[in-house]
């Protein structure tokens, strides 16, 4: 339990994101050829620090199934948890554009399911955009959502939610036929109304082809440097992941810091030197206690 206020202290870095980030913001950055950063995160506290750092886009990712809940696959992400997590990220970073990752089977069974669940992410989850792992066959779902007023980011290339079919996550576009399929998917989904494209784990040749046909900002992950934006899982970025993916290069070693902090706390408790400031009784109240009570309280 923490009694600390959820506010920046005078020792906290000044917020770098001062105006709300919108789709217009990303389009303007893309027009200026200014690459924008994105990170997947899962809680209000981390989101608050990332907003202060100036990260304009946060994804409440279904990778939380793995890094938060301890599952081995993203498809185990519970829908209700995903919605609440998205709201938490948005509360932590209210000026940041927050994307919600729609979990496995939350939009596959029917358009009605997709509409209802996307609506929950927009209202209960306070999402600015919903992200769907999709191919050209799901353009109809994107069209319906867009017409209903739901901004969609279409995720193409490697799609982790389909990894059960391939026996695990696999890079996409490594053959000419696969490359053409990724391009067709991207084209069909943006034509259906997708406001953003996210392309994952593809060779540079695929990214270049997608960028040639893209009419909306393109976010990459493991897709080279040509994309308009780049995204990573924050755990991979700050060194919390034991075995990060090949495309993720940590910039910090927070895992080691947590390890050392935990070890130091164990030692402090063992030595009864826990630090901090103690609570005191109000003036004159301690004198009202009997000697026995005072002795018991100090044991």
Per-residue CA distances from 82 to 76, 91, 149, 236, 290 (Å): 11, 14, 20, 20, 54
Taking the CB of residue 276, how many other CB atoms lie within 10 A of it?
4
Q: Map tokens 């002795």 to a residue.
A: 295
Q: Map tokens 């980030």 to a residue.
A: 21
Report which of 26, 89, 82 is spatially closest to residue 219, judged by C-alpha positions.
Answer: 26
109 Cα distance to chain centroid: 25
- Residue 260 falls in the annotated catalytic set: no
Q: How far apart are CA 26 and CA 153, in angstroms?
A: 13
Q: What are phi and psi of 129, to 5 degrees?
A: -145, 145
Pick the catalytic residue from 200, 205, 212, 249. 200
Q: How far apart are CA 37 and CA 220, in angstroms?
A: 10
Q: How far apart are CA 118 and CA 196, in angstroms?
A: 16
Catalytic center residues: 200
């Amino acid at each position: 339990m923490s009694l600390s206020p959820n506010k920046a202290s005078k020792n906290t870095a000044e917020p770098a994101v001062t105006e709300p980030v919108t789709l217009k913001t990303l389009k303007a950055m893309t027009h200026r050829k200014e690459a924008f950063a994105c990170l997947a995160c899962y809680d209000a506290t981390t989101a608050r620090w990332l907003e202060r750092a100036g990260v304009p886009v946060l994804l409440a990712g279904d990778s939380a199934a793995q890094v938060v809940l301890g599952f081995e696959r993203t498809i185990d992400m519970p829908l209700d948890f995903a919605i609440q997590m998205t709201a938490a990220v948005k509360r932590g970073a209210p000026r940041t554009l927050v994307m919600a990752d729609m979990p496995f089977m939350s939009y596959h069974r029917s358009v009605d399911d997709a509409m209802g669940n996307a609506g929950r992410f927009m209202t209960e989850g306070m999402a600015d955009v919903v992200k769907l792992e999709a191919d050209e066959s799901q353009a109809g779902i994107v069209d319906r959502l867009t017409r209903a007023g739901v901004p969609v980011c279409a995720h193409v290339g490697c799609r982790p939610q389909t990894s059960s079919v391939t026996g695990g996550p696999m890079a996409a576009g490594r053959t000419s036929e696969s490359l053409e399929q990724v391009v067709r998917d991207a084209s069909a989904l943006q034509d259906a109304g997708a406001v953003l494209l996210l392309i994952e784990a593809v060779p540079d040749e695929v990214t270049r082809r997608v960028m040639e046909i893209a009419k909306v900002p393109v976010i990459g992950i493991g897709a080279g440097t040509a994309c308009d934006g780049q995204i990573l899982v924050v755990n991979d970025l700050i060194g919390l992941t034991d075995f990060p993916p090949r495309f993720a290069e940590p910039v910090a070693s927070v895992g080691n810091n947590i390890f050392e902090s935990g070890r130091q706390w164990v030692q402090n408790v063992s030595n009864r030197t826990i630090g901090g400031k103690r609570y005191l009784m109000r003036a004159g109240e301690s004198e009202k206690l009997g000697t026995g009570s005072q002795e018991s309280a100090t044991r």
